[in-house]
Amino acid sequence: MNTKLYEYILLLADNPLILGHRLSELCGHGPSLETDIALTNISLDLFGQVRNYFQYAAQVQGLGKSEDDIAFLRYEHEYRNVIMVEQANKDFAWVIARQFFFDAYHKPLLEQLAGSNDAQLSAIAHKSLKEVQYHHHFSSEWVKRLGDGTEESHTRMQDAINHFWPYMGELFEETALEKEMKENGTGADLVAIKPVFKSFTNEIMAEAGITVPSSEWSHSGGKKGTHSEHLGFILTELQYMQRAYPNMTW
């Protein structure tokens, strides 16, 4: 078993897993039919990417487990997602701000992984990029639409950006594992991704009339398994069927 590669795949996959679940909670609750369907489709895209990652992780682990075992049968401290993606769907502006920051990170991350010397990670990245380019456009256009809309939509969008700002820094915290994977040509370079992220998000926020927060402090811990109170509730829902009916089949 290649333990380091397995752990790196979890770092890549757990973010879209938890964010995909958060978006799935919105099915039937979007502000319009078109937006509702768009958010549901983004959720499905993310789960499709997660399946590809977890199938590969199960293969790398070599213990005869499936992608379902990895998704549903780990404990809270074994998840490696950043705290940002756990945050609740308070309102539509919060949904968009969370998606905006994640997409601005996710697209250049996949562009880097497309050049990985690991053929499977490269293939997953190439396939996922086609979907993430749409996510990237969707969330940024909604930031501009809400930020440059009515007084209320602007206030809500600004409040949402202010809330998520202290969470996005964790995306670029380079763990020892991520540094090693970068240096051996397998993983992405977070140091190189950060200026791409900042340039894009600052440009969109300027177009939207959003004030960029000045704080540089950031939440941390998710990549090491220390999460917010939200993740336990998410996993209670996400894992219920598998834990209630072990090894169930449809």
What homologous superfamily is domain 3-211+220-244 in, according to CATH? Ferritin, core subunit, four-helix bundle (1.20.1260.10)
Return the pLDDT at 31.
Answer: 85
**DSSP code for 30:** S
**Could you state, in chain order, the average pLDDT of each consecutive group of 10 residues for the chain (250 residues)?**
94 98 92 91 97 97 92 96 97 98 98 98 97 98 98 98 97 97 98 98 98 94 97 95 84
Return the pLDDT at 29.
Answer: 85
Q: Are 4 and 181 in contact (CB under 8 A)?
A: yes
Q: Are 106 and 168 in contact (CB under 8 A)?
A: no
Return the pLDDT at 44.
Answer: 97
> How far is 126 from 115, CA to CA, in rounded Å?
9
Q: Determine the Cα angle at 226 with ends 100 and 14, to 5°.
A: 50
CA distances from 71 to 130, 210, 235 (A): 24, 37, 10
Domain ranges of the chain: 3-211+220-244
CA distances from 19 to 103, 116, 146, 184, 217 (A): 11, 24, 21, 28, 23
CA atoms within 13 A on the CB side of 29: 11
